[in-house]
Structure formats: structure tokens, C-alpha cells
Structure 1
Amino acid sequence: MITTRMEKELNAQIKAEYESAFIYMAMAAWAHKNAYYGTANFMWKQAKEEEEHAMKFVDYLKDVDGTIEIPGLEKPEGEFKSLLDIFEKGLEHEKYITSRIHNLVTVSDEEGDYATNDFLQWYVKEQVEEERNFRDIVKLLKKVGDQANGIMMIDSKLGER
């Protein structure tokens, strides 16, 4: 049986995952509007992945007979300065999500909830990958600076995701 505290924290994470999807949709829309079609593709796929992450939490709560709360969401920021700005903000957001996942693991330990702890290990590993992906893109964008050819080459590569 899942504890009330754990259930509350998992529902808060569902909201955070959907907020992530909305943030990445806003980034995709900005990128598309500014003709960064590769980045737009990357971010649309990132948004879809975040929705899938949210649904994994929903499915888990169903599996443990928990209560699922459907969150309300705020409109995300929609204006960005550059591709570097987008990916730096994306990296910071992924670090925030990592901290939330780590907190969930701590709560599961404190609650003696071994099943939830096991479930969360997939997210612990996933966040290493998420941060690495954004960090690598930030490094590449910083390397090319304001060189249009370099930016467009990175954008084109992001479209292959």
C-alpha cells in the first residue's frame, strides 16, 4: 500500500512532467517560428517524451491503487533569445527535474516504500541521459558562438532525433 506522503509526491511529479512537456512545446513553437526546424523537431519529441514520463507515474499509481490527481498547468515562457538560450534553460530545467526525482527516492527510502524506490530507479538513470543530452548541445552551441553556419549545422543535426 502506498503512503499518503508518497502518493502526494508522485502526483506532484506528474504535474512537473506535464509542465516539462509544456515548456518544451513552447521552445518548439519558438524554434519553428524562427526557422530552426531541427530544434523544433527535437523539442516536439522531447515534449512527447515528457508526457510519456508523466503517464508512467499515472500508470504506477494505478498499479498501487493510489489516487491520481490531474494537474492544472500554467502557460510556459514562450520567448527566447537564441538556441543557446533554449538549451541552457532546458538544461537548468532537467537539473530541476533531477532534483525532484532524487527527492522522490529519498521520500521512498524514508517511507520504506521499496516498490516505489525500484520504480524510480528508471527515472534516476533517465535523468543522467537527459542532462547529458542538453549539456552536450549547450557545449556545441557555445563552441560555434554566433557563427550562422555552425548554428544551422547543429540545428540540422537536431532534426535527426
Structure 2
Amino acid sequence: MITARMEKEINNQIKAEFESAFIYMSMAAWSHKNGYFGAENFMWKQAKEEEEHAMKFIQYLKDVDATAEIPGIEKPNGEYESLLDVFEKGLEHEKYITSRIHNLVKISEEEGDYATNDFIQWYVTEQVEEERNFRDVVKRLKMVGNQANGIFMIDSQLGER
């Protein structure tokens, strides 16, 4: 049985996942406006994935007969200095989400909630992939610096996601 504390924290995570989707939508819009159509594609797919993560948490709460709360979401910042800035902010955000997931694991252990702990392990693994994806793009963008050809090549590869 899920505890009230765990239910509350999962609902907070649902909000964080939807906020993530909105952040990536704003990054997609910025990318489109600035002609980075590969990055735009990457970010729209990332936003969709974050919505799926939120829905997975909602389904879990339903499965354990808990109450899922659907949050209101504030408009995210949509201004970025460069494509590198977009991906650095994305990486920072993924690190924040990782810390939240790790906190859910800690709480599930403190509460003796083994079912929730097992459920959350998927997210632990997923966050390794999420951080790696952003970190790899940041590394490549730093390698090419302000070279238009390099940025164009990276952007094209991002469109293949």
C-alpha cells in the first residue's frame, strides 16, 4: 500500500514531468524560430517523452488505488543565447530531474514501499540515458564552437532522432 507521503511526492513528480515537457516545447519553438530544425525535432520528441513519463506515474497511482493530481503548469522561459545554451540548460534540467527521482527512491526506502521502489527503478535507468543524450550534444557543440558547418552538421544529426 502506498503511503500518503509517497503519493504526494509522486504527484509532485508528475508536475515536474509535465513542466519538463513544457520546457522542451519552449526549446523546440526557439529552435524553429532560429532555424535549428533538427534541434526542433529533437526537442518535440523529448517533450513527448516527458509527457509519457508523467502519464506512466499517473497510471502507477491508479494501479495502486491512489489519487493522481493533474497540475497547472507555468509558462517556461523561452529565450536562449545559442543552441549550446539550449542543450546546456536541458542538461541542467535533466540533472535536476535525476535528483528528484533519486529522492523518490530514498523516500520509497524510508517508507518501506518496495512496489514503488521497483517502479521507480525504470526512471533511475532512464535518467542515465537522458543526461547522456544532452551531455553528448553539449560536448559536440563545444567541439565545433561557432563554426557554422559544424553546428549545421550537429543540427542535421539531431533531426534523425
Whichever residue aligns with residue 35 of structure 2, its letter is A
Residue of structure 2 equivalent to 1:34: 34
Q: Match of 1:3?
A: 3
Cα-to-partner distance string for 1:4-40 (whole Å, 9 max, x where unaligned): 0000000000000000000000000000011100000
Aligned counterparts of 2:136 and 2:67: Cα–Cα separation in 1: 38
Provide the C-alpha distance between the structure 2 equivalents of 1:62 and 1:32, rounded to a whole number of angstroms: 37
Read off the aligned partner of 1:72 and give its amino acid letter: G
Match of 1:52 in 2: 52
Task: Tell me which residue corresponds to 2:132.
Answer: 132
Deviation sequence 1:38-77 (CA, Å, 0-9, x none): 0000000000000000000000000000011110111000
CA distance in 1, matches of 2:33, 2:84: 16
1:98 is matched with which residue?
98
User: What are the ranges of 5 or more consecutive residues in structure 1 without an aligned counterpart?
Assistant: none
Rounded to whole Å, the distance in 1 between the matches of 2:133 and 2:40 is: 15
**Residue 111 (structure 1) shift:** 0.2
Tell me, yes or no, if structure 1 residue 107 matches structure 2 residue 107.
yes
> Normalised by the size of structure 1, how large is the TM-score?
1.00
Match of 1:121 in 2: 121
Please list every run of at least 4 consecutive aligned residues from structure 1 whose deviation after the TM superposition is greater than 6 angstroms.
Answer: none
> Secondary structure of 2:76's match?
coil
Could you tell me the TM-score, scaled by structure 2's length?
1.00
Aligned twin of 1:18? 18
Counterpart residue identity of residue 5, structure 2? R
